[in-house]
C-alpha cells in the first residue's frame, strides 16, 4: 500500500493548476444516462472515484471513451470524456459496485426517469456518517415512482413515467437535490424543489442538463423549477474548477508561508472559505488567471468557524482549516454541523503535536509554536489532506499511510506540491 513521505519546513512558491471538480464530474457523468445521444465532458479530473464510476456506468452498458493526451497538451489539463448511453442493457447497480462509492447511488434518478425502472443497492456504511438516502427516495415517490426495499436493494418503478411534483426537502441535501433534479428533467410537467442545495456543483449539473435541452431554472438558489421534457439530447460541457482543491492548496500556502498562484481557480465558488483565510492572515488576490495566495512573515491568526451548506463554510474544508489553525497564535474553534464522525483526523494531527479538544460537534484548537513530523494514518479523503498540510509545516519527516484516500479526490497532489518547493514523494508498497 502506497505511502507519502514529507519533510516539512519549506514555504510553497510558484503555481498550482486547479483540476476539474470531482463533486461536479461524478453527477455529470451520471447525467449521461438521461440521453441516448453522446454527452461530451471536458476538464474531467483523473481520479480514482472517476475511474470507479466509469466501471459502474459500464455495468449498465454505457460506453465511455476518454481521449488520450495529445501533443502539446498541458500535463495537468483535464480529460475529455465521451459518454454514450444509447443502449442501457442493465438497470441494476449491484452492491459490490455501489458500496465502493456512495455517489453511484444517484444513478437511480436517471434510470427510473428514462427506463421506468431501477434496482440500486443501498450504499451501506460511510466513514464520516450515516448519510441516509431517505430524501432521495421521498423525492422519487413524490414524482410518482413506486419504491420498494428488498434484500438491501431499492427497487424503483415508474412504468408510465414520472410526473412533476412539489418537493420540499426537510434538510438541505446535495445528493437528494441531484437525484430529484435529474429525475424531474424527464418527468411530465413542472417540478419545484424547495430547500434545495445551492452548491456550485448543482448549478454545473443543471447548466449541463439545460445544454442537453432541459428546462431548469433557479439553480444556485433554494428553489429550483424544472419543466420536464420528453427527451434530452447530447451536448458538450466543461466541468467547473474544484473549489475544494482550491481551498486545500490555499490553506497549505497559508500554513507553510510563501506565494502561490492557483491557476484556473474561481473565487466566487468559495467566498466564505477565502474570507476565513484572510482572517487567518493570508493575502488572497483575485485575477483573470486565478487566485494568488501568500503569507510572508505574518503569523497565523485564530478563527471561529461553523460549517454550513453553500454559501457557508464547506464541511469538505473543515479538516484542512483545522490543520492550519494548529499553528495559530491563539485558540480557534470549529463547529461541524453537516456530518457526524468528521473529526477522525484529530487524533492523527495530535501525533504531529497539535492540541485539540473535542466536545461533541465542537473542536477547540489551541495553537502551538511548532509541529513535529511523525507517522500518521489517513482515515478519509479530507482527513488525508489535512495531514499533508500539517506535515508540510512540521519539523522533520512525516509518513502518511493509506494514501489511497487522497487519490479519490486530489489529482497529482505530490507533483503539484513538489513543483512549488515541497519535499514530498510517494513510496510504493
What are residue 16's DSSP bridge partners? 262
- At residue 420, what are phi and psi to the nearest 5 degrees? -105, 15
- For the CA atoms of 294, 297, 298, 302, the dihedral, rounded to the nearest 10 degrees, stands at 80
Rounded Cα–Cα distance for residues 263 and 247 (Å): 12
Establish whether 102 is an annotated binding residue.
Answer: yes
Establish whether 171 is an annotated binding residue.
Answer: yes
CB 392 within 8 A of CB 370: no
Q: How many CB atoms lie within 10 A of CB 2?
A: 14
What are residue 356's DSSP bridge partners? 365
Residues with Cβ within 8 Å of 19's Cβ and at least 6 positions away in sequence, in order, are 43, 45, 46, 76, 78, 241, 242, 245, 411
Before 157, cis peptide (omega within 30)? no
Question: What is the full DSSP assignment across 310-333?
Answer: TTSB-GGGHHHHHHHHTTSSSEEE
Rounded Cα–Cα distance for residues 397 and 330 (Å): 26
Establish whether 424 is an annotated binding residue.
Answer: no
* 280 among known catalytic residues: no
Nearest to 270 by CA among 331, 314, 326: 314
Residue with cell 461524478: 26
Rounded Cα–Cα distance for residues 379 and 364 (Å): 20
Residues with Cβ within 8 Å of 235's Cβ and at least 6 positions away in sequence, in order, are 39, 40, 208, 211, 212, 213
Establish whether 22 is an annotated binding residue.
Answer: yes
Nearest to 392 by CA among 15, 16, 11: 11
Question: For 71, which DSSP code?
Answer: T
- Cell numbers at 328, concatenated: 495559530
Residue with cell 468528521: 342
User: Residue 29: CA atoms inside 13 Å, Cβ hemisphere, count?
Assistant: 32
Among 126, 208, 280, 420, which one carries the catalytic annotation? Answer: 126
From edge to edge, which strands make up the β-sheet containing 355-359?
A: 304-306, 331-335, 362-366, 355-359
Establish whether 356 is an annotated binding residue.
Answer: no
Nearest to 389 by CA among 298, 327, 304, 312: 327
Establish whether 174 is an annotated binding residue.
Answer: yes
Q: For residue 273, give the H/E element and its range.
A: helix 271-280
Establish whether 173 is an annotated binding residue.
Answer: yes
- At residue 345, what are phi and psi to the nearest 5 degrees? -75, -15
Establish whether 23 is an annotated binding residue.
Answer: yes
> Alpha-carbon Rg of the chain, whole angstroms?
22
Residue positions annotated with a catalytic role = 126
Which residues does the annotation place in the binding site for phosphoenolpyruvate? 22-23
Which residues does the annotation place in the binding site for UDP-N-acetyl-alpha-D-glucosamine? 102, 171-174, 316, 338
Which residues does the annotation place in the binding site? 22-23, 102, 171-174, 316, 338
Amino acid at each position: 500500500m502506497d505511502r507519502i513521505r514529507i519533510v516539512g519546513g519549506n514555504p510553497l512558491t510558484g503555481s498550482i493548476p486547479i483540476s476539474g471538480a470531482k463533486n461536479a464530474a461524478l453527477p455529470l457523468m451520471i447525467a449521461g444516462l438521461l440521453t441516448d445521444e453522446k454527452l461530451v465532458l471536458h476538464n474531467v479530473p483523473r481520479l480514482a472515484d472517476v475511474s470507479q464510476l466509469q466501471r459502474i456506468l459500464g455495468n449498465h452498458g454505457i460506453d465511455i471513451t476518454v481521449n488520450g493526451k495529445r501533443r502539446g497538451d498541458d500535463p495537468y489539463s483535464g480529460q475529455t470524456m465521451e459518454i454514450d448511453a444509447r443502449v442501457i442493457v442493465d438497470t441494476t447497480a449491484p452492491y459490490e459496485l455501489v458500496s465502493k462509492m456512495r455517489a453511484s447511488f444517484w444513478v437511480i434518478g436517471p434510470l427510473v426517469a428514462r427506463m421506468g425502472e431501477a434496482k440500486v443497492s443501498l450504499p451501506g456504511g460511510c466513514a464520516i456518517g450515516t448519510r441516509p438516502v431517505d430524501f432521495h427516495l421521498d423525492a422519487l415517490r413524490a414524482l410518482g415512482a413506486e419504491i420498494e426495499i428488498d434484500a438491501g436493494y431499492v427497487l424503483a418503478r415508474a412504468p408510465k413515467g414520472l410526473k412533476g411534483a412539489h418537493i420540499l426537502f426537510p434538510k438541505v441535501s446535495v445528493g437528494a437535490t441531484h437525484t430529484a433534479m435529474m429525475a424531474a428533467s424527464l418527468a411530465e410537467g413542472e417540478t419545484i424543489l424547495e430547500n434545495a442545495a445551492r452548491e456550485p456543483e448543482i448549478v454545473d449539473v443543471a447548466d449541463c442538463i439545460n445544454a442537453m435541452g432541459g428546462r431548469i431554472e433557479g439553480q444556485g438558489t433554494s428553489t429550483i423549477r424544472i419543466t420536464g421534457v420528453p427527451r434530452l439530447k447530447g451536448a458538450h460541457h466543461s466541468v467547473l474548477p474544484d473549489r475544494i482543491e482550491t481551498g486545500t492548496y490555499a490553506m497549505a500556502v497559508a500554513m507553510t508561508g510563501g506565494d502561490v498562484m492557483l491557476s484556473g481557480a474561481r473565487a466566487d465558488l468559495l467566498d466564505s472559505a477565502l474570507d476565513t483565510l484572510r482572517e487567518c492572515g493570508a493575502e488572497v488576490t483575485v485575477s483573470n488567471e486565478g487566485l494568488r495566495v501568500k503569507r510572508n512573515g505574518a503569523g497565523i491568526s485564530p478563527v471561529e468557524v461553523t460549517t454550513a451548506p453553500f454559501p457557508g463554510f464547506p464541511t469538505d474544508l473543515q479538516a484542512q482549516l483545522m490543520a492550519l489553525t494548529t499553528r495559530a497564535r491563539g485558540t480557534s474553534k470549529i463547529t461541524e454541523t453537516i456530518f457526524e464522525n468528521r473529526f477522525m483526523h484529530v487524533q492523527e494531527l495530535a501525533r504531529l503535536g497539535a492540541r485539540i479538544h473535542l466536545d461533541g460537534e465542537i473542536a477547540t484548537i489551541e495553537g502551538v509554536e511548532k509541529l513535529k513530523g511523525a507517522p500518521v494514518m489517513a482515515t478519509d479523503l479530507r482527513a488525508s489532506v489535512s495531514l499533508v498540510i500539517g506535515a508540510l509545516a512540521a519539523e522533520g519527516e512525516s509518513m502518511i499511510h493509506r494514501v489511497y484516500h487522497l487519490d479519490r479526490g486530489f489529482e497529482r497532489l505530490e507533483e503539484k506540491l513538489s513543483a512549488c518547493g515541497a519535499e514530498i514523494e510517494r513510496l510504493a508498497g
